[in-house]
Amino acid sequence: MAVDNEVSAIYYIQHHLQNLTFGKHPENGWSLASTSEEATEMGFWAIHLDTMGWSIAMGLLFIWAFHKAGKIATTGVPGGLQNAVEMVIEFIENLTHATFHGRNKHIAPIALTLFVWILLMNSLKIIPVDYFPELFAKLGVDYMKIVPTTDVNATLGMALGVFLMIIYYSIKIKGVGGFAKELSLTPFNHWSLIPFNLVLELVGLIVKPISLGLRLFGNMFAGEVIFILIALLPFWAIWLLDVPWAIFHILVVSLQAFIFTTLSIVYLSAAHEHH
């Protein structure tokens, strides 16, 4: 019985950590993966449909909420939605002014998009871990992870977007020559140390998006695992631990969105600075 319970627990954990994966399998062709092994065999170009679907859904929710707030905006006493949107906009505006030292009207909208989108995706973690997997299982869908930020592909994808903006603005503001000079003559301004400078600067440049994406993924994935482990406990223990952890995780959800956004602004600010 103990062995059966252990096997059941392992299956439960693996099932809840498995994405709904679509790709080209060597034997089955284009299909949905029925096991984690099949998902692995589909290779790099396989798509996590749940990650894509829920991240797009949260993006659409963000657009809808801010569009609606703009339409119903009033100069009188604001409603709940308008008040919440204004608070978020004011928060991002203050954060951008305090962190970004260049002149670029697009940075604040970028920061607003990152913060709200990540916050909405992270907030899906508050929903009980069994709710959507069981719901979709009744519809014939075997796997369903609803928190996109627990998928390293999503977090590294967003970090890659920030990285491309860093390169774009570095070249736009400083020019190709200026950007190359910055990489080759920083921190030691001497031609003989150019190879050493390039190694330091290129490593630092590449580490930025990797650390940005892995930090968000690591914190959200760890929280997801703890929720799953709590769900395996006896009924009385679930309520004893799940509620306090969920309340604590509300802070983690907002904090990780804040950290990702702040670091993105810092990196973009550095891209606008001349050395």
- Whether 219 is a known active-site residue: answer yes
Give SS3 for 49. helix
Active site residue 211: yes
What distance in Å separates the CA atoms of residue 166 and residue 160, rounded to the nearest whole number? Answer: 10
- Known catalytic residue: 189? no
Report which secondary-structure segment, H or E, holds 22.
strand 21-25
Q: Is the dihedral of CA 150, 154, 156, 158 positive or negative?
A: negative
Q: State the catalytic residue, choosing from 8, 83, 189, 211.
A: 211
Quickly count: other Cβ atoms within 10 Å of residue 144's Cβ: 22
Place of tokens 């992270």: 122
Marked catalytic residue, from 31, 215, 254, 269: 215
- Cβ atoms 233, 241 nearer than 8 A: yes
SS3 129: coil
What does the chain come to in residues?
Answer: 275
Which of 217, 86, 58 minimizes the C-alpha distance to 153?
217
CB 228 within 8 A of CB 13: yes
Task: Round to whole Å and give the CA distance between 78 and 62.
Answer: 19
- Do 216 and 208 touch, CB atoms closer than 8 A? no
Q: Please identify which of the residues 19, 170, 197, 219 carries the catalytic annotation.
A: 219
Q: Which residues are catalytic?
A: 211, 215, 219
